[in-house]
Chain A
Amino acid sequence: MNATCTTSSASDAVSTVEIDASCRVPLFTLFVSAAVWLVVASVFGLIASLKFHSPNLLSGCAWLTYGRVHPVATNALLYGFALQAGFGVALWIIARIGQTRVAQPWLIAVGGKLWNFGLLIGILGILGGDSTGFENLEIPSYGVVFLFLGYLLIGFWSLVTLHRRQERALGPSQWFLLAAFFWFPWIYFTANYLLLAHTPIRGVTQAIVDWWYIGNLNLVWFGLVGLAVAFYFIEQLMNRALHSRYLALFTFWTILLFASWSGIPRSAPVPAWIPAMSTVATVLTLVTALSVMVNIYQTCGRGCSQTENPPPGKFIAFGTGAFVIAWLMNSISAIPEVNAVTNFTWYTVAQWQLNVFGFFAMTMFGAIYYIVPRVTGMEWPSAKSVGRHFWLAAIGIILIALPLAIGGLIEGVHWRNPKLTNVDVAKNALNFLRVSTIGEVLILLGNVLLLGNLIGLSVRYYKIHFVPVYKDVTAKLDPAEVKP
């Protein structure tokens, strides 16, 4: 009995190279399309930002109006980059920790194609005026169907990969990822079904469901996946275990329990118990941010500053820092007295950008820069541009989040002074917003560097692996070799 066990596990043992190779097809699909959507998102984000410099800019055609360009930027960032890169990185981590090959890599790649097709027609739909009118869920139903089918393929086979792991006991990163893979289809299906079905729910229940979805996507899902990736890479790059698994468990539970109820502002025109409960839950997410901060500080200790941080480490360190700040900003702004100032202002936009880009996207950049060379067995064509991307993205997001947060607080105080006209309030806030345009430009440049590097690497990979094969296949045969 014992002997068979040993032999079977020995024969099952898969080399790291094999695991990485099994990720190649799905990860290529997910990462290259994610990088393309990232550039799309930052181009549209820049257009939206420029409209605050000159309101008549590009106002002549309907599909370039602010109310269409802005949701295209957010949806391309959320569904095009963040979720898609998250799926890819999560898949690789699941395979690596589980010491097993990816299950059905081709089907996952097909899922990725469906996801991108759905997103493409969804984005075109928004530009054409088919936006659903629900924030973070603007993609019309004909796009959602493909996104959901694509996710089912990606999610199902990722969970099968998790199930095939060699070591049965699960570590922190795996808890977070398992919960996230289960969380997304539930919230996405619920929200889209209730809001876009043939007879949708009516009245403010629509707004409540939308808020519920936004909280569960932006805090729970990004929190779970982003932290799973951050914990995994901190352990890898620091070459030591996480300071406390129990603290990580605490983080996990507080995200599931509190963040899933967060996000409904105090003044919402809904029955009073709803914002009351949501306020309590959102304030309590404070402990999530603190537990992550303590755990990571204790793990890295002074080592963080001492080690020669390779670029992936820099991205992940920045990402975790942004996580703590973004979550603190969120929970503090839920306190009723603070919310009365911050609600409806650019402060909430600053918090959103810091969470989605500063935390999640930055963590994904670090992971992508680490994973892709291992999966392809090739170095990045331009190592310099990896470092440049870090600085462009880091300075870019600071130049977006900081002015918008300060400008938002000032705007909030101004809105409470009825003597200031709304044009005055908006004009004061606009100066801060205009600074953030510089941040948008820097982020766009950084994103172009990532895409360029990925494309460069793909071309090289193609040249090395496909061109010789093609030449071999198409080479003229030496008559002497032809057997009669």
Chain B
Amino acid sequence: MRYGPIVFLAAFLTLSASWCGFVLTPQIQLGRAVQETNSVVKAELYPQGRPGLARAGLEVYRADGCFYCHSQQVDQKKTLVDVFLTDAGKTPTAVAQALEDAHAGTFSAPGLAAGLPKPVLRNATMESASVLASLLKKAGATAELHLAPAGPDIERGWGARRTVAQDFISDSTVMLGSQRVGPDLANVGARLPDENWQLMHLYAPRSVTKDSPMPSYPFLFERRKTGQHPAPDALQQLPKEFAPPAGYEIVPKPEARALVAYLLSLRSDTPLYEAPLTPPAPPAAATNAPAK
């Protein structure tokens, strides 16, 4: 390493390698990704593009730096599987034996056919669930597997499953965030769909969440005299200590409406093949049990 060209070559080659790895290859792999009918349940394209107002709201989210305190990435530790018996078949004794062999528990053969579909194994791994499913099939019964993603983020209710690259393909300025001073927002549209709640929360966070450390955003709202014709979209249910003095009303500016539209458009609860889940649908609904 005594001479300039060698040092230069060392830097050039190592940086090229890193550039090819983390700039070029992801772009080749993901850059041309398009909406797919990747969704397990619905036959529609996913993700749907955001409506115009929500796209304007993304710019407000960016300008005011919401992503410094809110991430948009739900983590998932594992997927738990529930096995539901849907048809006990003609040989309930064999089915009961199969359940016992798979350590699913002791069931009385005559009572098996009652109250179907019913869960026979809960919170199992995919492995033991598929063992049980194949045993049940041999015994002449049919079973469904229900997939439930699990992990602290999901137990918190932040999302139904982990977020994946597919969730973001139609966005520009992807703000995944690096810190959580507040909750994750990847699925906030499904979690807190009330527009009025969102507006009140932006205007005065502590009016809806006690002790919230979030700053208030009064500059997204306009305080004006209630004239002859009160604005129909003025904030209504503000608690006393946050409400404007009598004769005044708080009206959201277009930025506030756009930001809320963006927040409500944030949802990542569609089942995907790379992040499967069984939506809490009526029991009769189709499941995403793997093809047998």
Contacts and interface: CB of A to CB of B under 8 A. Distances in A.
A268 B30 CA distance: 14
B101 interface: no
B68 A423 contact: no
A314 interface: no
B31 A256 contact: no
Contacts of B217: 59, 65
A415 B152 contact: yes
Contact of B68 (A71, A129, A168, A183): A71
Interface stretch (A206-214, A315-323, A370-378): A206-214
Nearest to B76: A267
B157 to A, nearest CB: 8
Most A Cβ at <10 Å: residue of B1, B155, B169, B205: B1
A135 B11 contact: no
B18 interface: yes
Interface residues of A, number: 81
A175 B2 CA distance: 9
A168 B3 CA distance: 7
B165 A59 contact: no
Most B Cβ at <10 Å: residue of A65, A200, A261, A348: A65
Contact of A344 (B63, B178, B216, B219): B178
A57 to B, nearest CB: 8
A190 interface: yes
Interface in B168-216: 168-183, 205-206, 209-216
Contacts of A201: 27, 31
Interface stretch (A34-42, A114-122, A270-278, A356-364): A270-278
B45 interface: no
A16 B219 CA distance: 58
Contact of A204 (B4, B176, B181, B214): B176
Sort A-B residue pairs by CB-CB distance and give the 3 closest, nearest first.
A67-B65, A129-B63, A133-B62
Interface of A: 51-52, 55-56, 59-62, 65-68, 70-71, 129-135, 162-163, 168-170, 174-175, 178-179, 182-183, 186-187, 190, 194, 200-209, 211-212, 216, 249, 252-253, 256-257, 260-261, 264, 267-271, 274, 277-278, 340, 344-346, 348-349, 415-418, 422-423, 426-427, 429-430
Interface of B: 1-4, 7-8, 10-12, 14-15, 17-19, 21-23, 26-27, 29-31, 33, 62-69, 71, 73, 75, 152, 155-156, 162-165, 167-183, 205-206, 209-219
